[in-house]
Amino acid sequence: MQFKDIVGQRVLINKLTEVIDSGRISHAQMFLGRMGYGTMALAVAYVQYLMCEHRIHHGEGAELRADSCGECPSCKKIQGMMHPDVHFFFPTVNTSKIEKPSCGEYRSDFHKFLLENNFYVNLNDWYTYSGAENKQGEYRALDSVELIEEVARKSYEGREKVFILWMPEHMKSLVANELLKTLEEPYEGTLILLAAENDARMLSTVKSRVQTIRVPRILDAHLPEEAEGDYMIARRLENEMQDTTETKRLFIDWMRLLFKLKMAELSQWVESIASIGRERQKLFLNFVMDYMRRSFSQTAANQPANLNTGDARFDTMFPSMVTPRNVEQIYESLSEALFSIERNANPKVTFMQLSFQLSKHIKNR
């Protein structure tokens, strides 16, 4: 799986290859994204890039700054699901044929399943593929035994050893505790990658030991890159964020950009907000939520909203954008972004994704 075959996600992918090139990757990471976001495909492309013997660099201006070659022995083995140092773990189900399920029993089926679906997979399809409809699968005690043995074993090819754990939220605490041990005592050259949809179901002790990479919706394809380096607004903000006029200006600029959805300007705006620091980003999101709530009470309940951005025309026009049709989605997107910022998600990815969501919600008023 090369990055070029991933749908969208260019901003995130470029970030990931930058980190791999710098050699500063964390030994335990979680790719977290809802069903359909391509989380597993991304994880596999990530591993293929990491292990590629001839990484290709297209340069910083390119849509993808870098990718795996797809042709070296390592890439070929991963693409054929035959790399001896890339291990997949996943939930399994009981069937009439397999009474004591484990990854070992199902592994060759799972490999076929991944290849047939080009790594764009979901749990229901996997259960159906394993011949067990309407049953819930899980990680098994046998899997943790195998995981521990494999982690302790030497790498076959003398390079990195990678464990991709798909849907780790379907892991009971017994298995998760074994996993914790391997996360706490990392082995040299060993990478553990979780590919998950719902971290609310995971043990907080596991979550706190992995670096989380939030996989956004597939919306950011073909983002222009030229915005890098516009620090003007950012610098002004550093000095004046305390002054709420600046917050208001930033908000008005953003809303105008969302109507036009001009990519180059929007990514400049995202660069700016990304550079002001998490505390200020949280203040800003709180301000926006408050403004949306006031706007809605004016539209829906005809109550005076006391809006005061300093731009009277904007304050008169904007409330009609927030209606009973879209207020919930607007609010959900904003609180999700706030949550992500609090959890140290990448602010550029978070604000870009939020921009697309808000733009869509506002158009659906």
Q: Which residues bind Zn ion (CB under 5 A)?
A: 52, 68-69, 72, 75
CB of 52 or CB of 321, closer to Zn ion: 52
User: In this complex, which beta carbon is closest to Zn ion, that of residue 1 or of residue 151?
Assistant: 1
Residue 16 Cβ vs Zn ion, minimum distance, rounded to whole Å: 16
The two structure tokens encoding residue 55: 């990484």
Rounded to a whole number of angstroms, the minimum distance from the CB of residue 296 to Zn ion is 52
**Least spacing, CB of residue 58 vs Zn ion, in Å:** 15
CA distance 60 to 204: 37
Q: CB under 8 Å to 295, separation ≥6 — which residues? A: 305, 307, 318, 319, 321, 322
The smaller minimum CB distance to Zn ion, of residues 17 and 346, is found at: 17
CB of 48 to Zn ion, least distance (A): 7
Return d(Cα 201, Cα 170) in angstroms, integer: 8
Is 133 strand, coil or helix?
coil
CB of 68 to Zn ion, least distance (A): 5
Q: Min. distance of Cβ 76 from Zn ion in angstroms?
A: 8
Question: Do the Cβ atoms of 43 and 33 come closer than 8 Å?
Answer: no
- CB 355 within 8 Å of CB 284: no
Pick the closer one to Zn ion by CB: 164 or 270: 164
CB of 74 to Zn ion, least distance (A): 6
Question: Which residue's CB is nearer to Zn ion, number 74 or number 353?
Answer: 74
Residue ranges of alpha helices (H) inside 302-364 are 312-317, 327-342, 347-363
341 Cβ neighbours under 8 A, 6+ residues apart:
278, 281, 282, 285, 347, 350
Choice between 70 and 277, CB closer to Zn ion: 70
How far is residue 76 from each of residues 81, 87, 168, 235, measured CA to CA in Å?
Answer: 8, 15, 27, 47
Pair of tokens at residue 45: 């492309």
Contact 93, 135 (CB under 8 A): yes
CB of 90 to Zn ion, least distance (A): 25
1-12 per-residue burial string, b: 16 or more CB within 10 A, e: under 16: bbbeebebbbbb
Toward Zn ion, which CB reaches closer, 18 or 71? Answer: 71
Of 52 and 183, the one with the shorter C-beta distance to Zn ion is: 52
